[in-house]
Amino acid sequence: MKLAVAFGVLASAFATALVAPEPPLTYRDVKPIFDKRCLSCHGADYPGGNLRVDSYAGIMKGGKHGKAVIAGKSPESRMMKMLKGTIQPRMPMDTPALPRAEMEKISNWIAQGANK
Ligand code: HEC
Protein backbone atom coordinates (compact mmCIF):
# COMPACT_ATOMS: atom_id res chain seq x y z
CA MET A 1 0.00 0.00 0.00
CA LYS A 2 2.76 2.39 1.00
CA LEU A 3 4.52 1.51 -2.20
CA ALA A 4 1.42 2.28 -4.24
CA VAL A 5 1.16 5.72 -2.63
CA ALA A 6 4.82 6.44 -3.27
CA PHE A 7 4.39 5.38 -6.85
CA GLY A 8 1.40 7.66 -7.24
CA VAL A 9 3.36 10.62 -5.91
CA LEU A 10 6.20 9.88 -8.27
CA ALA A 11 3.91 9.50 -11.24
CA SER A 12 2.21 12.83 -10.61
CA ALA A 13 5.58 14.53 -10.19
CA PHE A 14 6.50 13.20 -13.61
CA ALA A 15 3.25 14.40 -15.12
CA THR A 16 3.85 17.89 -13.71
CA ALA A 17 7.33 17.98 -15.20
CA LEU A 18 5.97 16.96 -18.57
CA VAL A 19 3.29 19.62 -18.84
CA ALA A 20 5.30 22.42 -17.18
CA PRO A 21 5.90 25.14 -19.79
CA GLU A 22 9.48 25.50 -20.92
CA PRO A 23 11.23 28.70 -19.86
CA PRO A 24 11.64 31.21 -22.70
CA LEU A 25 14.81 30.99 -24.74
CA THR A 26 17.61 33.38 -23.84
CA TYR A 27 20.66 34.78 -25.63
CA ARG A 28 22.67 31.95 -24.09
CA ASP A 29 20.63 29.44 -26.10
CA VAL A 30 21.33 31.06 -29.47
CA LYS A 31 24.85 32.41 -28.90
CA PRO A 32 26.55 29.15 -30.03
CA ILE A 33 24.86 29.48 -33.44
CA PHE A 34 26.05 33.06 -33.88
CA ASP A 35 29.54 32.13 -32.71
CA LYS A 36 29.83 29.25 -35.13
CA ARG A 37 28.11 30.60 -38.25
CA CYS A 38 28.16 34.40 -38.12
CA LEU A 39 31.06 35.68 -36.08
CA SER A 40 33.66 35.42 -38.83
CA CYS A 41 31.88 38.26 -40.66
CA HIS A 42 30.14 40.06 -37.82
CA GLY A 43 32.85 40.64 -35.21
CA ALA A 44 35.00 43.59 -34.24
CA ASP A 45 37.46 43.18 -37.14
CA TYR A 46 34.87 42.91 -39.86
CA PRO A 47 31.31 43.84 -38.96
CA GLY A 48 29.47 42.97 -42.20
CA GLY A 49 26.61 45.39 -42.79
CA ASN A 50 27.90 47.18 -39.70
CA LEU A 51 26.31 44.46 -37.57
CA ARG A 52 28.16 42.81 -34.69
CA VAL A 53 26.87 39.57 -33.28
CA ASP A 54 29.62 39.04 -30.70
CA SER A 55 27.46 40.38 -27.89
CA TYR A 56 23.80 40.68 -26.98
CA ALA A 57 24.10 44.47 -27.13
CA GLY A 58 25.59 44.30 -30.62
CA ILE A 59 22.80 42.10 -31.93
CA MET A 60 20.09 44.31 -30.45
CA LYS A 61 21.74 47.49 -31.77
CA GLY A 62 21.49 46.26 -35.34
CA GLY A 63 23.40 47.25 -38.47
CA LYS A 64 23.41 49.75 -41.28
CA HIS A 65 19.72 49.11 -41.97
CA GLY A 66 18.74 49.64 -38.36
CA LYS A 67 17.39 46.98 -36.07
CA ALA A 68 18.08 43.41 -37.21
CA VAL A 69 16.05 41.90 -34.37
CA ILE A 70 12.65 43.24 -33.36
CA ALA A 71 11.84 41.60 -30.03
CA GLY A 72 8.58 39.66 -30.24
CA LYS A 73 8.37 40.02 -34.02
CA SER A 74 10.29 37.24 -35.66
CA PRO A 75 8.87 37.39 -39.22
CA GLU A 76 9.37 41.17 -39.35
CA SER A 77 12.97 40.96 -38.16
CA ARG A 78 15.57 41.58 -40.83
CA MET A 79 17.71 38.81 -39.37
CA MET A 80 15.03 36.17 -40.02
CA LYS A 81 14.34 37.53 -43.51
CA MET A 82 18.02 37.25 -44.34
CA LEU A 83 18.36 33.79 -42.82
CA LYS A 84 15.47 32.69 -45.03
CA GLY A 85 16.76 34.59 -48.04
CA THR A 86 13.69 36.80 -48.56
CA ILE A 87 16.16 39.68 -48.18
CA GLN A 88 19.39 39.11 -50.06
CA PRO A 89 22.20 38.35 -49.54
CA ARG A 90 21.00 35.31 -47.62
CA MET A 91 22.80 34.81 -44.32
CA PRO A 92 25.15 33.27 -43.49
CA MET A 93 26.55 34.72 -46.71
CA ASP A 94 28.43 32.39 -49.09
CA THR A 95 27.82 29.34 -46.90
CA PRO A 96 24.93 26.85 -46.63
CA ALA A 97 21.76 28.06 -44.91
CA LEU A 98 21.29 27.26 -41.25
CA PRO A 99 19.69 23.88 -40.55
CA ARG A 100 15.96 24.18 -39.88
CA ALA A 101 16.36 23.48 -36.14
CA GLU A 102 18.84 26.35 -35.72
CA MET A 103 16.70 28.73 -37.76
CA GLU A 104 13.69 27.83 -35.63
CA LYS A 105 15.65 28.34 -32.46
CA ILE A 106 16.63 31.89 -33.46
CA SER A 107 13.09 32.54 -34.69
CA ASN A 108 11.57 31.34 -31.40
CA TRP A 109 14.10 33.32 -29.40
CA ILE A 110 13.04 36.51 -31.21
CA ALA A 111 9.34 35.65 -30.99
CA GLN A 112 9.64 35.06 -27.25
CA GLY A 113 11.08 38.55 -26.77
CA ALA A 114 14.77 38.16 -27.66
CA ASN A 115 15.59 37.81 -23.98
CA LYS A 116 19.08 38.43 -22.72
C1 HEC B 1 30.84 35.37 -45.14
C2 HEC B 1 30.48 36.53 -44.35
C3 HEC B 1 29.18 36.52 -43.58
C4 HEC B 1 28.66 35.56 -42.76
C5 HEC B 1 29.25 34.21 -42.42
C6 HEC B 1 27.45 36.11 -42.20
N7 HEC B 1 27.24 37.38 -42.69
FE8 HEC B 1 25.65 38.57 -42.26
N9 HEC B 1 26.40 40.03 -43.52
C10 HEC B 1 27.57 39.91 -44.25
C11 HEC B 1 27.72 41.10 -45.07
C12 HEC B 1 28.87 41.39 -46.01
C13 HEC B 1 26.59 41.91 -44.82
C14 HEC B 1 26.21 43.24 -45.49
C15 HEC B 1 25.42 42.86 -46.71
C16 HEC B 1 24.91 44.02 -47.52
O17 HEC B 1 24.38 44.97 -46.95
O18 HEC B 1 25.02 43.95 -48.76
C19 HEC B 1 25.79 41.20 -43.83
C20 HEC B 1 24.60 41.69 -43.32
C21 HEC B 1 23.84 41.06 -42.35
C22 HEC B 1 22.65 41.61 -41.77
C23 HEC B 1 22.01 42.97 -42.11
C24 HEC B 1 22.68 44.10 -41.37
C25 HEC B 1 22.17 45.43 -41.88
O26 HEC B 1 21.65 46.22 -41.07
O27 HEC B 1 22.26 45.66 -43.08
C28 HEC B 1 22.18 40.68 -40.89
C29 HEC B 1 20.93 40.79 -40.02
C30 HEC B 1 23.10 39.56 -40.90
N31 HEC B 1 24.09 39.83 -41.82
C32 HEC B 1 22.98 38.44 -40.13
C33 HEC B 1 23.85 37.35 -40.19
C34 HEC B 1 23.68 36.18 -39.38
C35 HEC B 1 22.58 35.98 -38.34
C36 HEC B 1 24.70 35.34 -39.71
C37 HEC B 1 24.94 33.95 -39.17
C38 HEC B 1 23.85 33.01 -39.23
C39 HEC B 1 25.49 35.99 -40.72
N40 HEC B 1 24.95 37.22 -40.98
C41 HEC B 1 26.63 35.46 -41.31
C42 HEC B 1 28.46 38.87 -44.21
C43 HEC B 1 28.27 37.66 -43.54
pLDDT tens-place string over residues 36-85: 999 999 999 999 999 999 999 999 999 999 999 999 999 999 999 999 99
Q: Is 79 in the pocket of ligand 1 (CB under 6 A)?
A: yes
Q: Averaged over 96-110, what is the pLDDT? A: 98
Q: Is any ligand 1 atom within 6 A of the Cβ of residue 41? A: yes
Q: Which atom of ligand 1 is nearest to the CA of 34?
A: 37
Q: Is 111 left (phi over 0), alpha (psi -120 to 50) or beta?
A: alpha
> Sign of the CA dihedral 107, 111, 113, 115?
negative
Residue 42, pLDDT score: 98
Please give the number of the atom of ligand 1 that sits closest to the Cα of 40: 5
- CB under 8 Å, gap of 24 or more: what pairs does 90-99 form? 91/38, 92/37, 92/38, 92/41, 93/41, 93/48, 95/37, 98/33, 98/37
Q: Per mean pLDDT, which range of 6-20, 22-36, 74-88 is the poorest? A: 6-20
